[in-house]
Amino acid sequence: MVAAENRQARPQVGVRLKSAREKLGFSLADVEQATNIHARYLEALERDDFEALPNRAWAHGFLVTYANRLGLEGEALAERALPLRRKPRPLRWVTRHWRGLVAVVGTLAVATMFPIAAVIVAPYNDFTKGITDYLNKIAPGLFLDSGPQRVALLGFAGGGIVGGDNVVVAKVEDEGFGILSIPGNTVTEIPGHGRGDVGDAVALGGPDLTRRTVARLTGTDVQFYVLIDAEGVKNVVDTSGGVRLNVRHPVSGRVAAGDAPITLNKGTQILGGDEALVYLQGQDLPNNTQRAERQRDFLYAMFRQALAPRTLISNPTTLTTVLANTETNLSALEALQLAIRLKAMEDAGMSVQAGAVPGRETRTDAGLVPEEKGLHAVVEETLR
């Protein structure tokens, strides 16, 4: 829950939101449909009941999105009413992982530095596999094991990314790399909430519920999640020097309402943070499935570049930027191990197996109903 802090600094936020909504003639249901934010959270914002939202980051993101939809200055309003203040990453990391840290220190006391370093930089050779699994056993949450690692990547629509909370699931293992896009309107079973759209899971229970939802949908063990919002994408892209992509069709859009329009021409180019956000909105695409596939390919390219060893060597702040702008259950060491494993697979010439959840939409508002046989086949190809 969001801590009850500085109530006097934000006394009229809810009044302003409700007044602007009623002036525009919108009901809470209208705004829910337009923003993908559940009505109960909108109502909580109008009551200044920030404690009713899952955490401060979500409250801030919801407030920005809701206020912008009403024509208010969402970013400025949220920064004054609910500024994001985070403990320094190292302190939060130590607080979360102190037991594992103690175990690792003990391990280092009886082990040489060479095999430990080898586990990090070359975790898939025969020599290091046993050490890798041993370290994971005594210090889970710090070291990956040698088995397949699956990560749910999601962009939080409530934080500004258009796309209805599309989800990407990536698998990294010694046999190769697979990546599956799941449109946010995919209908499935959400643990503890019944049937609904995959994109609803973030608002219902956070990124961990999304992780469990896509694990159930795909029938695989998805161990990790990474959630990133629009501001996070912009920061990561800009810090890593842009993302090189082939833009297949001209794309135009605005980063936020009131901003100057940005047009991306066809062709291979390096996208900065603002251009990336316009590209991800997919105004040139006809449906959410294609937007989900675009977000899949972009997030893969962005994280691959940002966490590439050459990028980390030339700009060591990149890893810090990635961790500071994402909500994840990966430790810094686990993220680094995944990046090095990806690099090793690239050097070995392994191809990327990419796919998307197949299905049909019976009505505009019915969502995407997965085709069972096709889903099984694409999961086998990408995530097994």
Summarize pLDDT for 165-175 with one digit per residue, the tens: 678 888 887 77
pLDDT number for residue 202: 79
In this structure, the answer to whether residues 26 and 155 fall within a common structural domain is: no
* Whole-model pTM over 0.75: no
Does a structural domain hold residue 378?
yes
23 and 119 inside one domain: no
Give the pair of three-digit tokens for residue 378: 């694409």
270 with 194, same domain: the answer is yes
Predicted local distance difference test score (pLDDT) of residue 126? 57
Separation between Cα atoms, residue 47 and residue 102, nearest integer Å: 44
Identify whether the C-beta of residue 203 lies closer than 8 Å to the C-beta of residue 315: no
Residue range 218-235: average pLDDT?
85
In a domain, 224, yes or no: yes
Q: Report the CATH number at residue 51.
A: 1.10.260.40
Residue 143 lies in a domain: no
Query: Under a CB-based contact definition with an 8 Å cutoff, are residues 353 and 382 in contact?
Result: yes
Please indicate, yes or no, whether residues 228 and 244 belong to a single structural domain of this protein.
Answer: yes
Tell me if 2 is assigned to some domain: no
Cα-based angle 317, 318, 322 (whole degrees, multiple of 5): 120
Indicate whether 110 and 67 sit together in one domain.
no
Confirm if 125 and 112 have CB atoms less than 8 A apart. no
Confidence bin at 101 (pLDDT 50/70/90)? low
Q: What pLDDT does 117 receive?
A: 45
| Separation CA 331–CA 226 (nearest Å) | 11
Section 252-266 average pLDDT? 84
- Confidence (pLDDT) at 125: 55
Do 191 and 104 fall within a single domain? no
**Given the structure tokens 């390919």, which residue do they identify?**
297
Q: What is the chain's mean pLDDT, rounded? A: 75
Residue 8's pLDDT is what? 43
Question: Quick one: 32 and 99 in the same domain?
Answer: no
Are residue 130 and residue 188 in the same domain, yes or no?
Answer: no
User: In this predicted model, what pLDDT tens digit does every residue of 19-77 receive, in sequence order?
Assistant: 888 889 999 888 888 877 778 888 888 888 887 776 677 777 788 888 888 888 887 88
Domain that holds residue 377: 149-382
Exposure on the CB side of residue 87, measured as CA atoms within 13 A: 7
C-alpha–C-alpha distance, residues 187 and 281, integer Å = 22
Considering the domain architecture, whether residues 35 and 128 belong to the same structural domain is answered as no
Nearest to 272 by CA among 305, 240, 306, 294: 240
For 174-188, the pLDDT digits (tens) are 777 788 888 888 888
> Best-predicted range by mean pLDDT among 105-114, 131-140, 312-321, 331-340?
331-340
- Tokens standing for 346? 């690239």
Task: Please say if the pLDDT value at position 85 is more than 80.
Answer: no
Residue 293's pLDDT is what?
80
Domain count, the chain: 3
> Which amino acid appears at position 123 of this protein?
P
Does residue 219 come out as left (phi exceeding 0), alpha (psi in the -120 to 50 range) or beta? left
Domain membership flag for residue 313: yes
Are residues 240 and 157 part of one domain? yes
Tell me: do 66 and 107 sit in the same domain.
no
Q: Is residue 144 part of a domain?
A: no
Q: Which residue has the higher pLDDT, 67 or 131?
A: 67
Torsion sign over Cα 309, 214, 97, 139: negative
Residue 1: inside a domain: no
Q: Kindly state whether residue 314 falls inside one of the protein's structural domains.
A: yes
356 and 309 within one domain: yes
| CATH number, position 331 | 3.40.630.190
